[in-house]
């Protein structure tokens, strides 16, 4: 009986040890899982911003190129502003006369063949590789082209990082490695290029401000006209005013929506009603986030112009019209003393007859 009791005692101890070891193993596995999840969520792991609803910090773009930079962003909604700024800094240091040893030229460092195929004329003077406005617009448009080339294929990495790799080494290299090429490729040039731009973009990113993303959308069919109010606003002007406020949170006071007969600017240039969509304090120059917000508002008006009855949009010295649906430089018909393209608001006119 004594021997049997000892055997049971040893068996109990062995069972307890096994249970303890299993508990330790489970705990360690849980720690590994938690560490893995935290690592996946770590924002410092080189993942580029994935939306243009962020703005670039002041100073990241030379002021003399700011208007051209803001316009270039309108050509690629998927491209975050800080990424484009960092990309140009990395490519040329913002020197439009820069020429690489391989023959790449301009702010965006385009090779002649790529420029011939993807050049964008930003100001109506013909696409010139050394023109900062053309090079910035072409770089943004080409970025979007590359995003389309490398996205949705199951490659490892976010769309913007894959685009940067393709900009540096070509889409073929990204396809070959099914992601950003490793440091072993091309002596690490492409890998370092993506890492440098990603780091700069993260440093110069301004957090999203309320209103940068449209909360709702306009259906393809025209919206029903809002009843004309006691203030005499045209149906679509009033509807557009409320839609903009609900979608972006911007200030569109009723007093800013006026009839042609009651506004000297509109009586000269517009046949309809107009509103000033405020994106910064009246009379002030908007900061980087305000400028980005202005372009978001302007492009939303353009995209949904049929439903809202929009005839014209003016912002940052650029004009879009339903009769000529493209952004181009705006020349004030009333002269420099009267500016319809004030920096603090987006000016939009609506069709009176809708």
The residues annotated with a catalytic role in the active site are 91
Q: Where are the alpha helices (DSSP H) in 181-234?
A: 189-203
142 vs 118: CA distance, rounded Å: 6
Q: Where are the alpha helices (DSSP H) in the chain?
A: 2-41, 66-73, 81-92, 112-118, 132-150, 159-169, 171-177, 189-203, 235-248, 264-269, 288-303, 305-308
184 vs 172: CA distance, rounded Å: 16
DSSP character for 74? T
DSSP character for 319? E
338 vs 330: CA distance, rounded Å: 13
209 vs 211: CA distance, rounded Å: 6
318 vs 326: CA distance, rounded Å: 10
Q: What residues are paired with 313 via a beta bridge?
A: 320, 348
351 vs 207: CA distance, rounded Å: 36
CA distances from 126 to 109, 119, 122, 134, 240 (A): 18, 10, 8, 8, 35
274 vs 271: CA distance, rounded Å: 9
141 vs 118: CA distance, rounded Å: 8
232 vs 261: CA distance, rounded Å: 12
User: Is residue 52 a contact partner of residue 79, using CB atoms and an 8 Å limit?
Assistant: yes
Q: By three-state DSSP, how is residue 273 classified? A: strand
User: Is residue 86 a contact partner of residue 200, using CB atoms and an 8 Å limit?
Assistant: yes
């Amino acid at each position: 009986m004594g021997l049997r009791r000892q055997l049971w005692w040893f068996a109990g101890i062995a069972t307890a040890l096994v249970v303890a070891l299993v508990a330790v193993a489970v705990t360690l596995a849980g720690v590994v899982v938690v560490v893995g999840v935290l690592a996946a969520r770590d924002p410092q792991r080189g993942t580029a911003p994935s939306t243009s609803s962020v703005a670039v910090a002041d100073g990241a773009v030379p002021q003399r190129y700011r208007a051209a930079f803001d316009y270039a962003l309108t050509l690629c909604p998927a491209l975050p502003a800080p990424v484009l700024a960092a990309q140009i800094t990395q490519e040329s240091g913002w020197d439009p006369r820069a020429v690489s040893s391989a023959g790449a030229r301009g702010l965006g460092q385009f090779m002649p063949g790529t420029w011939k195929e993807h050049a964008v004329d930003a100001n109506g003077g013909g696409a010139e590789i050394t023109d900062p406005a053309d090079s910035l617009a072409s770089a943004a448009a080409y970025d979007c082209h590359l995003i389309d080339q490398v996205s949705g294929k199951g490659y490892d990495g976010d769309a913007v990082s894959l685009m940067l790799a393709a900009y540096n080494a070509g889409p073929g290299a990204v396809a070959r490695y099914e992601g950003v090429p490793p440091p072993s490729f091309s002596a690490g040039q492409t890998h370092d290029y993506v890492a440098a731009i990603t780091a700069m973009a993260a440093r110069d990113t301004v957090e999203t401000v309320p209103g940068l993303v449209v909360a709702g959308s306009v259906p393809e069919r025209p919206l029903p006209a809002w009843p004309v109010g006691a203030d005499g606003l045209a149906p679509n002007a009033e509807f557009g005013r409320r839609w903009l406020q609900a979608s972006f949170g911007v200030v569109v006071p009723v007093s800013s929506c006026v009839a042609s007969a009651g506004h000297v600017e509109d009586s000269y240039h517009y046949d309809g009603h107009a509103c000033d969509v405020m994106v910064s304090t009246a009379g002030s120059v908007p900061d980087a986030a305000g400028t980005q917000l202005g372009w978001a508002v302007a492009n939303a008006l353009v995209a949904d112009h049929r439903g809202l009855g929009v005839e014209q949009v003016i912002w940052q010295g650029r004009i879009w019209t339903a009769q000529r649906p493209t952004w181009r430089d705006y020349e004030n018909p009333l002269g420099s003393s009267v500016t319809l393209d004030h920096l603090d608001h987006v000016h939009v006119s609506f069709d009176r007859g809708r």
